[in-house]
Amino acid sequence: MAGYESVRERKGRSGPKRDRRRRGSDDRPRRSDSGRGRGRSDFGRERRPVEMTKVTCSDCGEECEVPFKPTSSKPVYCSDCFTKKGGSSSRGGPSGKDLEIINEKLDKIMVALKIK
């Protein structure tokens, strides 16, 4: 570092002149200003529109739109039929019906292991 300091001194340059107490007072963008701070990377950005596809519901036969393009032989349901069949519009965990089945199985396991 000594070589670096002597070059700075030879050229008449000194250290930074910015007062550290006034941090952020200059016009340079900070991480949070540029959208690259903490949190989700897509925060503050516009989402691209979802392309809807017209399909016929496999259960009721009504025409509806879904936010994907069906590619397999799996049935496709309108939102009403999907909900009736136990589907969930949220992307959370298992449905109430699934939890009941899991709890029944856990109860049997606990009885078999003699756990109270």
pLDDT for 79-95, tens place per residue? 889 888 877 655 566 77
Exposed, middle or buried, 40 (CB in 10 Å: 0-12/13-18/19+)?
exposed
Question: For the chain, how many structural domains are there in total?
Answer: 1
Q: What is the mean pLDDT of residues 40-53?
A: 76
Confidence of residue 33 (pLDDT cuts 50, 70, 90): very low
Say if CB 24 and CB 30 are below 8 A apart.
yes
Boundaries of domain holding 103:
53-112
Cα–Cα distance, 78 to 84 (Å, whole number): 10
- Is position 27 within any domain? no
- Is position 72 within any domain? yes
- Is position 95 within any domain? yes
49 is written with which tokens?
């529109």
- Is position 2 within any domain? no
- Is position 36 within any domain? no
- Is position 68 within any domain? yes
- Is position 103 within any domain? yes
- Is position 90 within any domain? yes
Rounded CA Rg of the chain: 30
